[in-house]
Every structure is written in C-alpha cells, then in structure tokens.
Amino acid sequence: MKFNRSGVIAAAVAMIAALPMASHAADGTITFNGSITAQTCNISGNGSGAADFSVTLPNVSVSALTPVGQPAGRTPFNIMLTGCTPNTGNVHTYFEAGPTTDATTGNLVLNAGGATNVEIGLLNGSDFSPIKVGFADASQNSQSVVISGGTATLPYYAQYVSTGVPTAGAANSSVMYTLAYE
C-alpha cells in the first residue's frame, strides 16, 4: 500500500478550515496618562551644594537601643532646592528600593561587618512620622512641600532603630532618592 502524502495534507487543511475560528472582539480600552516634566531644581543635600551627601549620626551606646524597637540618635537633615523652574508647585522625595532597604520595616539596613540588629529609620521633619523607604510612592509617607519663589526645603530626620538585641560596630547605610514634582 502506497502512502498518499498529498491526500493527507489536503484532508488536514480541510479539517482545520472547518474548525470554528476564535472570535476576538475588543471589550474595552485602557488609556495611559502621564506627564514628562521639565521641572528641574538645583539640589543641595544638607547644605553640601551637591545631590550626593552624607548625614552623620551620633555615637550611641548599645543600651540606648534597648528594648527592641527603641530609636536613638535622631539627627536632622535637609534636601534644599533652588533655581526651580517653574518656580512653583509641590515636591516630595521618593526613597528608592534597593539592597539597603528592609522591605518589611521600611528602614535602611546597615552595611555588613558592623553593628547588628540595628537599622536606620527616616522620618518626616515636620511631624516625625516614619517614612517607609522602598515602599511604593503612595505608601512611603514622604511629605510634600511647596516650591515657592523657585526654592524649597525638604526636612527629614534619621535615627537608629533596634530590631533585636544590638551589638556594637559601624552603623553605615545609604539610599538613592528621586525628587517627585507634583
């Protein structure tokens, strides 16, 4: 018996053509709205004149961080903006998620090799409410300030927070930030 390949192919094409075709109709439209802003400001972190800057927290004893959750060493710092164009509006700081952020507490984890069971928490300068670093922008609680006359000052505090029985050592961390213009 000889196999008729062209007959099999023709039968397969006929069967496929006889199958009902899936019907695809649009059920709705999603519209994406956004804005690319020309807003710019000169950034001076803590009076340094630069966007990258350091905040030096005081030396504190292990006992100052007892019991668990106890803060210590609250230290003010500012992000100052000048030369903003346009010269009005609102702005807040978005503290980026990354390897130095604790996704549970919203605090900054310390660099390896230093103190243990300690994190650095950030607070809003106006009311000492905690900022949840690395959380979604709407959930961070980083407060907005008004840009007036092309200037603004975003006030914050940093402090140590114990997460367990602390041990002594260096307490260094860092975080990247983005200014969010509104």
Overall average pLDDT of the 62-78 stretch? 95
Query: How far is Cα 182 from Cα 178, in angstroms, rounded to an integer?
Result: 13
Domain boundaries, the chain: 38-181
Cβ contact 172:100 at 8 Å = no
Residue 83, helix vs strand vs coil: strand
pLDDT tens, 99-108? 999 999 999 9
Pseudo-torsion of CA 56, 62, 66, 69, nearest 10°? 40
Q: What is the spatial distance between Cα 3 and Cα 108, in angstroms, rounded to a whole number?
A: 73
CA dihedral 99, 101, 105, 106 (to 10 degrees): -150
Per the confidence metrics, is the pTM higher than 0.85?
Answer: no
Which CATH class, in words, describes the domain spanning 38-181?
A: mainly beta
Q: Facing residues of 154 across strands?
A: 79
What value does the mean pLDDT of the chain take? 88
Whole-number Å distance between alpha carbons of 100 and 174:
7
Query: Does residue 18 surpass a pLDDT of 80?
Result: no
Q: pLDDT digit string (tens) for 129-169?
A: 999 999 999 999 999 999 999 999 999 999 999 999 999 99
